[in-house]
Chain A
Amino acid sequence: MSIDLKTIKHISKLSRISVDENKAEKLAGDLNSIFEFIEKLNELNTGNVEPLTSVAETTLKLRSDKVKSKNLREQIIKNSPQENEDYFVVPKVIE
């Protein structure tokens, strides 16, 4: 398997990370060597194996559906790069 520049462009779009030509070439090289290493898993037959989704073999605890923290608006907005009263601000999305 080989990851080409077209695939890199596709992944970059999915992950919302802009990639220029130089960076794409370097990434393709790195990712190919990493995937070569990962391909080792294909040596194993895992047809009948159940996938492990959690190492913690406990059932999730239930809790009562009560509001515990209130009035966090100010705290939540505090670290936003651009704020306007009670809202997060983003570049214009509607023409």
Chain B
Amino acid sequence: MSHITKQSLSELIKNIKDKKLSSTEVTKAFVERSEKSKELNAYVTEDFSAAIDKAKRFDQKPNLDLKLPGIPMAVKDLFCTKNIKTTAGSKILNNFIPTYESTVTQNIWNEGAILLGKLNCDEFAMGSSNETSFFGNVQNPIDKDLVPGGSSGGSSSAVAAQLTPITIGTDTGGSIRQPASFTGIVGLKPTYGSCSRYGIVAFASSLDQAGPMAQNVKDCALLHEVISSYDEKDSTSIDFKRNNYSKELTNNIKGKKIGIPKEYRVDGMPKEIEDLWKKGIDYVKDCGAEIIDISLPHTNYALPTYYIVAPAEASSNLARYDGVKYGFRADGENLIDMYEKTRSEGFGAEVQRRIMIGTYVLSSGYYDAYYLKAQKVRKLIKNDFDEAYKKVDAILTPSTPSSAFKIGEKTNDPVSMYLNDIFTVPVNLAGLPGISIPAGHDAKGYPLGLQIIGKAFDEQNLLNIAYAMEEKINFKNKITDWWIK
């Protein structure tokens, strides 16, 4: 048996079910490795001793019929966890202890998993490098001083570094898929409405979705099966027939039609990304799928649309942080002064910038020119996908326009940071599912990902294509444990 933390979720479950490993042994192994990995700064809140206690209790009376029997896992600190601090990576929530549990995490605990702790992320999930977190940068286990992507940067770092066998992130414009790509792991953004948003700190409500992150497609499918549920506490949760995604997983994708959108061949894209994409096309052909050239003509308008819609919704969602009901409060001379100082001292620079953009595009006299215009373009972007899906079953693209960059490299130029999400943002705008799978390395040895975009509610097909490709790609992540002394 390989070392516990090196095992995939599926292996761990099998070993626990076969009584070759106990939950306590598994939990202790991940706690021990997490404790040796402080330099990564992946955790905001550790709950290690409680986790070991829970594992011991599980072992006293193990229920091995559960889907995640005694499996320890850490989650992004954007999910409210009852009685455990939930910060969203922000100073303004640094003292917030939820009195309720998010539906997605509740689904996970109901299947026997055990919370290890809460993982770092960009403040309110606004960022692509985890550099906007109040709790500092997260290191990418691939190399020192490399960003792990964002906003689910603590999540990607923790899975790649084997501090947790699996995790969950949230994805508003690429926040699961881009960090997955930067760290050589698998990340799925489900169809909008597939996973409940109840108890997730809101960023942009028409775009936010929770999703699984794992070391391989099968683990990702199993975790997705656990977290996806209809929930009446989320008015946008959709009641559709959900599959047993992991059981129904197959690598037989013969005859599937895969679209290649010409507009994703952007100016200045490094040759290695272009080559990776070509290799991906060969892999799906090898699997017996058919390649079809398609056009998504409004692709170039997706990012500008996103940077109106997302800040607009954020400015409205974040109005609740007023220093009255919960969170940080600064002293002020009067009520208004207290609000203004609380929000100025409690939010970081990127969050303030986005609230300002959102406030402006929704303000009197500018609503039609910006917000309404963006909603119309969003319709055109969705129409592009609807048109394409008359001809194809799924779409294959690179996940990101480059590999991971160095900490500090893009912090002074917001627009260049935003360009990271060029391939992922259209998927959120159209409400579709997308998955990033590791597919190769660049010249520096950094991982590169490919993205598969599916039809709405067609996660099974998406996972099947990813599963078939994964087998052909046979990716090995290059983790040297450089941070462990």
Contact check, A31 vs B360: say whether CB atoms are below 8 A apart: yes
- Separation in Å of the A48 CB from the closest CB of chain B? 9
Q: Tell me whether A14 is interfacial, beta carbon within 8 Å.
A: yes
Contact check, B327 vs A18: say whether CB atoms are below 8 A apart: no
Distance A9 CA – B158 CA, assembled complex (angstroms): 41
Q: A56 with B359: in contact, given A40-B301, A92-B334 (CB under 8 Å)?
A: no
Contact check, B324 vs A80: say whether CB atoms are below 8 A apart: yes
Contact check, A52 vs B375: say whether CB atoms are below 8 A apart: yes
Contact check, B377 vs A11: say whether CB atoms are below 8 A apart: no
Distance A8 CA – B360 CA, assembled complex (angstroms): 9
Q: A17 with B192: in contact, given A34-B307, A46-B380 (CB under 8 Å)?
A: no
Residues of chain A lying within 8 A (CB to CB) of residue B239? 58, 61
A interface residues, how many (CB within 8 angstroms): 49
- Separation in Å of the B165 CB from the closest CB of chain A? 31
Interface centre among B374, B382, B418 (most CB of A within 10 A): B374
Contact check, A91 vs B335: say whether CB atoms are below 8 A apart: yes
Which of B14-22, B256-264, B337-345, B446-454 makes up part of the contact surface? B337-345
Q: Tell me whether A50 is interfacial, beta carbon within 8 Å.
A: yes
Residue of B nearest to A47 (CB): B376
Contact check, B192 vs A46: say whether CB atoms are below 8 A apart: no
- Separation in Å of the A74 CB from the closest CB of chain B? 9
Contact of B343 among A11, A16, A44, A51 (CB under 8 A): A16
CB within 8 Å of B: which A3-21 residues? 3, 7-8, 11-12, 14-19
Contact of A61 among B100, B232, B327, B375 (CB under 8 A): B232
Contact check, B340 vs A44: say whether CB atoms are below 8 A apart: no
Which of B145-153, B178-186, B247-255, B349-357 makes up part of the contact surface? B349-357
Distance A52 CA – B192 CA, assembled complex (angstroms): 14
The digit string for A9-47, where 1 denotes a CB below 8 A from any CB of B, is 001101111110000000100110110011111111010
Contact check, A17 vs B356: say whether CB atoms are below 8 A apart: yes
Residues of chain A lying within 8 A (CB to CB) of residue B329? 81-82
Q: Tell me whether A93 is interfacial, beta carbon within 8 Å.
A: yes
Q: Tell me whether A67 is interfacial, beta carbon within 8 Å.
A: no
Distance A38 CA – B89 CA, assembled complex (angstroms): 27
Contact check, B300 vs A93: say whether CB atoms are below 8 A apart: no
CB within 8 Å of B: which A54-71 residues? 54-56, 58, 60-61, 63
Q: Tell me whether B246 is interfacial, beta carbon within 8 Å.
A: no
- Separation in Å of the B328 CB from the closest CB of chain A? 7
Contact check, A52 vs B96: say whether CB atoms are below 8 A apart: no
Q: Tell me whether A84 is interfacial, beta carbon within 8 Å.
A: no
Contact check, B356 vs A27: say whether CB atoms are below 8 A apart: yes
Q: Tell me whether B370 is interfacial, beta carbon within 8 Å.
A: yes
Residues of chain B lying within 8 A (CB to CB) of residue A17? 340, 343-344, 347, 352, 355-356
Residues of chain A lying within 8 A (CB to CB) of residue B301? 40-41, 43-44
Residues of chain A lying within 8 A (CB to CB) of residue B415? 33-34, 37
Contact check, B338 vs A90: say whether CB atoms are below 8 A apart: yes
Q: Tell me whether B288 is interfacial, beta carbon within 8 Å.
A: no
Contact check, A55 vs B206: say whether CB atoms are below 8 A apart: yes
Q: Tell me whether B126 is interfacial, beta carbon within 8 Å.
A: no
Interface centre among B304, B344, B378 (most CB of A within 10 A): B304
Interface centre among A3, A39, A55, A79 (most CB of B within 10 A): A55
Q: A55 with B430: in contact, given A46-B377, A90-B338 (CB under 8 Å)?
A: yes
Distance A50 CA – B328 CA, assembled complex (angstroms): 41
CB within 8 Å of A: which B288-315 residues? 298, 300-301, 303-305, 307-308, 315
Q: Tell me whether B238 is interfacial, beta carbon within 8 Å.
A: yes
**A and B contact pairs by CB, cutoff 8 A, 7 listed:** A18-B343, A31-B353, A40-B304, A51-B372, A56-B192, A56-B238, A79-B326
Having A11-B359, A91-B337, one finds 14 other A-B pairs with CB under 8 Å, namely A15-B343, A15-B356, A16-B340, A17-B347, A34-B353, A39-B304, A41-B301, A44-B380, A49-B377, A58-B193, A76-B99, A78-B99, A79-B327, A81-B328
Report which B residues bind A (CB closer than 8 A). 95-97, 99-100, 192-193, 206, 232, 235-236, 238-239, 298, 300-301, 303-305, 307-308, 315, 322-329, 332-341, 343-344, 347, 352-353, 355-357, 359-360, 363, 370, 372-380, 382, 413-415, 418, 429-431
Kindly list the 7 A-B residue pairs having the minimum CB-CB distance in the complex, ordered from nearest. Answer: A55-B431, A51-B375, A79-B326, A81-B329, A18-B340, A52-B379, A46-B376
Report which A residues bind B (CB closer than 8 A). 3, 7-8, 11-12, 14-19, 27, 30-31, 33-34, 37-44, 46, 49-56, 58, 60-61, 63, 75-76, 78-82, 88, 90-93
